[in-house]
Amino acid sequence: MNDLPVIRLRPKSKPQAIRHGFPWVYADEAVLDRRTRNLAPGDFAVLEDAERRPMALVSVNPASKIVGRVMDRDVDAQIDAEWIRKRLRIALQMRERLYDTPFYRLVHAEADGLPGLIIDRFGEVAVMQPNAAWSDRMALQIAQALVDVTGVKTVILNGQGRARSLEGLDERMEALVGEAPTQAVPVIMNGATYFADVMGGQKTGIFFDQRPNHAFAQRLARGSRVLDVFSHVGGFGLAALAAGANHATCVDGSAAALKLAVEGARAVGREGDLETVQSDAFKAMEAMAAEGRQFDLVVCDPPAFAPSRQTLEAGLRAYERVAKLAAPLVAPGGYLALCSCSHAADLTHFRNASARGIGRGGRRSVQIYSGQAGPDHPTLPQLAETGYLKSLFFRLDG
């Protein structure tokens, strides 16, 4: 067996959850003695149950509520460059089977066997978010493995966001391989052209997860007037124009994101059919309702209002308010799409909040479609956090 330190589960913990695929060890489940607490964030250890039976090889972070992340069921595994390359090859093989273009999420953390690590690919540019201590510590090895396996020319480390702060990791942004792009990177999806700011945009610069929901919205958008609220770089709005929408209006608080939306419309010759509104989304919807504006398709894709169980109730009230304000903006017989990327708000909670909001907005609705993230965002059945995205489409009457 590896000459590694050991962390042990408490006698009252439930080791069967980990044996059945749950990938995390919470701090209150482990014996955190002085020896364990002296381990450095990112160290590897052998996880044992209370009877001292080896269970898995884990990465350790005594500073996190998730003190252990399962790396490999084989306690003799070597977490090195070849181990990383093997996991990346498996992830790449699936994405290349799914997509004809090199634009996708290449690694979706635990679901791809690389805990806490996110990698999005933009052609010859890859952006990685090492949100666990081990991946931050091995960032250079991961970057080189990415080059070896995928052939990308540039690897950006985006070390920002709530997940890193929960791990006690510092914020940083740098090019680990190649030169950082000085311009936004064009991305082709569903016939639309998007521009991703991989150095200064939200997350990795674009959201690949909504791709299948963009495609469904395109079926409703042909010949229509479309409103895309919380649009970022034009996600649903540009997809609608690419599908033949007559006009799209994008609302977002970021002037930089809306500028990229305009570039995307210009790239396909539809700049004249795109309106951008830089505003707080709630205020913008209230103002449009006061003006009597209506659209054939309205899409609201807000940020995570319920990122944790502690924020669930407040988040559900926010989702209800979004639905209430959006419903009057839908023309009779039109469609409303409401999205949530909050893993703490499950589908039932989110659907109920959306239905209440539509009703409070004075409209009657029927749900016609429920979407989730695309297959480049695989879901680990034992970990609800990997299945965070929900997109609900309603037809509104009256």
**Model pLDDT, residue 346:** 93
Q: Which domains does the chain have, with CATH numbers?
A: 6-72 (2.30.130.10), 81-177 (3.30.750.80), 185-397 (3.40.50.150)
pLDDT in tens, 168-182: 999 999 999 999 999
pLDDT tens for 261-312 read 999 999 999 999 999 999 999 999 999 999 999 999 999 999 999 988 899 9
391 DSSP β-pair partners: 339, 371
pLDDT in tens, 339-380: 999 989 999 999 999 999 999 999 999 999 999 999 999 999
> Pairing between strand 103-108 and 117-122?
antiparallel
Selection from 18, 26, 30 nearest residue 72 by Cα: 18
Distance CA(17)–CA(24), nearest Å, equals 9
Quick: pLDDT tens for 52-80.
999 999 999 999 999 999 999 999 999 99
- 341 in catalytic set: yes
Q: Where are the alpha helices (DSSP H) in the chain?
A: 15-19, 34-37, 81-98, 133-137, 139-150, 162-166, 211-221, 235-242, 255-267, 281-290, 312-326, 347-360
How far is Cα 328 from Cα 292, in angstroms, rounded to an integer?
Answer: 9
**186-206: average pLDDT:** 92
Which band of pLDDT confidence, cut at 50, 70 and 90, is reported for residue 201? confident
Q: Which of 250, 300, 339, 341 is catalytic?
A: 341
Do 151 and 227 form a contact (C-beta atoms < 8 A)? no
Closest C-alpha among 334, 319, 386 to residue 365: 334
Residue 363 and residue 330 in contact, taking contact as beta carbons nearer than 8 Å: yes
